[in-house]
Amino acid sequence: MGDKFNSWKVLMITSLGVLLVMMNMSTLNVALPSITTHFQATSLEASWILLSYMLFNTVFILVFGKVADLFGRKKLYIIGIASFTIFSFLCGYATDVGMLIVLRALQGISGALVITNTTPMIVSAFKAEKLSSALGINVVVSSIAQLIGPVVGGYFTYMFNWQWVFWFNIPIGVIGTVLAIWMLPKNVVKHSKITFDYYGSLLILAGLGGLIYGISSSSELGWTHISVIAGIAIFILLAIVFYFVERKAKMPVVNFALFRQQTFSMANMTTFLNSLARSSVVLLMALFFQIVYGANAFQAGLWVLPMTGGTVVASLMIGRLSSYIRTRMLTTAGLFISTIGMSLLALNMNVESSFTALMIGQFLIGFGSGIFMTPNTQLIMMSVPSHSTGVANGLRSMLQNMGGVLSTALALMIVVSAVPDDLKGAVYAGAAANVSVNRLVFITSGFQLAFIITTMITLGAAFAAFWTREPTSQEKAVEVEEKRDVA
């Protein structure tokens, strides 16, 4: 009885950490105009308030996932949630935009500590018959956090000021830290030597950072500026170095051998493309509603709910649909539904847009993504031997996260690049920009271009999903035998 009670305490505490970290993925999407106006930030600085958190969180999830067993998951989880709380407090007292960007990066690193240790602690705490239910609850908490993030961010920004978008984390973080110290069971620390690909992780951070900097700064500096060229050149050079380093690494971050399997390669490509197109939609719509409709942050947070709501509805239906429809057909249909939603948004990115069409478009994008994600993950897991599923899922998560970071950088670059220089700041200032209707057309054209491109990316992902071949059980058995022979 005591073990059962302790298991649910572990789930409660880790779910609190997931709630805290996942909400902060989206709270700033609606608060960004207020923060930009307060600091009089440039378009490049404003974009990096978002990108610094996403970039460091993505890369350090890879790092901490490998080293947690060496230092102890409980200890690292407590360090993560406590430091996240401290950095949230400091973010509200940032004296300039540069300080805020650095603190956001540190928030991202702290969040990675929480996320990487959550699932393993749940797996260790629950017996097999209860594990699926516990993990399901954890996923639901994550979904709810992403759903309410923009609303929470909008509410605190509108009712108080932008600092409270960070300060509301403090009571949650303090309670989570105290409960973790008090209730989480001690785990056995493995002191054995762990082989870890430090060079690969460093190359991903530097290379991806260079690419994102080059993309995000191009709208302000131009594609021919030395900083932009240098950022992209660093990415290309380090990508080549990364490939050769990973081929020789004992425990590589990316196992390129897995990509020889057609299903694995294509399914992961669609994962990346879907994330590349979809991840920036909430941010773009929140900015659009504030600029064009004059919505306050709280209204904008409410008006972007249909997308996450669509994902939740799809997740409730996907189990039944998968019993009747082939996996590949589900992934293809989901992406085509998202394409229709993207098209609706692209057609209504103007000063006389249909509010109803914008709501329907967001819902369809979320619904289509929800239909796509579960069966696509299943395809990835089916395409590799059972002993490689952990590595395969890690690669899927990495590509999805990288797609999200690049999505934000690309979307903001496209929107800002399409407007005159004197209106670039207005994209981030929201309703505070007070742009006349005549000039508002220039800004809406930037949003329209962004959604035309995301529509094309989503359509490309749909065709890739259609051509993804489902592996047969016979092929799977052969792969397993080949792996055993090699071993």
Q: How many domains does the chain have?
A: 3
What's the CA gap between 154 and 148, in Å, rounded? Answer: 10
Do residue 114 and residue 201 come from a single domain? no
Do residue 181 and residue 202 come from a single domain? no
**Do residues 163 and 40 make contact, with C-beta atoms less than 8 angstroms apart?**
no
**Do residues 11 and 104 make contact, with C-beta atoms less than 8 angstroms apart?**
no
pLDDT for res 2: 44
- DSSP annotation string for 275-310: HHHHTTHHHHHHHHHHHHS---HHHHHHHTHHHHHH
Residue 4: pLDDT over 80? no
pLDDT for res 472: 63
pLDDT for res 359: 97
What DSSP designation does 419 have? S
pTM value? Answer: 0.85
Do residue 326 and residue 298 come from a single domain? yes
41 in a structural domain: yes
Q: Residues of the chain with pLDDT > 90: what percent?
A: 38
Do residue 237 and residue 163 come from a single domain? no
Do residue 355 and residue 437 come from a single domain? yes
Mean predicted confidence (pLDDT) in 86-100? 95
Do residue 274 and residue 418 come from a single domain? yes
Residue 102: pLDDT over 60? yes
**Do residues 30 and 154 make contact, with C-beta atoms less than 8 angstroms apart?**
yes
Last residue of a domain, one of 161, 187, 213: 187
pLDDT for res 101: 95
Do residue 178 and residue 205 come from a single domain? no
- Among 428, 424, 406, residue whose Cα is nearest residue 288: 428
Mean pLDDT (the chain) is: 84
Q: Which residues contact 453 (CB under 8 A, 6 or more apart)?
A: 410, 414
352 in a structural domain: yes
Residue carrying structure tokens 């690909």: 197
What DSSP designation does 469 have? P
Local confidence band at 378 (pLDDT 50, 70, 90 cut-offs) = confident
What DSSP designation does 164 have? H
Local confidence band at 457 (pLDDT 50, 70, 90 cut-offs) = very high
What's the CA gap between 185 and 236, in Å, rounded? Answer: 45
Q: What is the CATH number of the domain that holds 381?
A: 1.20.1250.20
pLDDT for res 257: 80
Containing domain of residue 127, as a range? 1-187
pLDDT for res 195: 64
pLDDT tens, residue by residue, 148-170: 889 999 999 999 999 999 999 99
Mean predicted confidence (pLDDT) in 206-228? 86
Secondary structure percentages of the chain, helix, strand, coil, to 5:
85, 0, 15
**Do residues 274 and 264 make contact, with C-beta atoms less than 8 angstroms apart?**
no
163 in a structural domain: yes
pLDDT for res 222: 80
pLDDT for res 99: 96
323 in a structural domain: yes
What DSSP designation does 185 have? P
Do residue 397 and residue 466 come from a single domain? yes
pLDDT for res 389: 67
Do residue 323 and residue 236 come from a single domain? no
Do residue 242 and residue 363 come from a single domain? no
- Among 84, 115, 111, residue whose Cα is nearest residue 177: 84
pLDDT for res 370: 87
Mean predicted confidence (pLDDT) in 65-75? 71
- DSSP annotation string for 256-269: GGGGGSHHHHHHHH
Last residue of a domain, one of 222, 250, 278: 250
pLDDT tens, residue by residue, 435-452: 777 788 888 999 999 999
Q: What sign for the dihedral angle of Cα 105, 109, 114, 115?
A: positive
Longest dimension (CA), the chain: 70
- Provide the CA 444 distance to its chain's centre, in angstroms: 25
Local confidence band at 205 (pLDDT 50, 70, 90 cut-offs) = confident
Write out the two tokens for 159.
């009712």
433 in a structural domain: yes
pLDDT for res 481: 44
Last residue of a domain, one of 250, 270, 295: 250
Local confidence band at 105 (pLDDT 50, 70, 90 cut-offs) = very high
397 in a structural domain: yes
- DSSP annotation string for 322-387: TTTS-HHHHHHHHHHHHHHHHHHHHHT-STT--HHHHHHHHHHHHHHHHHHHHHHHHHHHHTS-GG
Residue 189: pLDDT over 70? no
How many other CB atoms sit within 10 Å of the CB of residue 309?
17
Residue 70: pLDDT over 70? no
Do residue 232 and residue 376 come from a single domain? no
192 in a structural domain: no
pLDDT tens, residue by residue, 312-357: 888 788 878 877 888 889 999 999 999 999 999 999 999 888 999 9
115 in a structural domain: yes
Do residue 245 and residue 266 come from a single domain? no
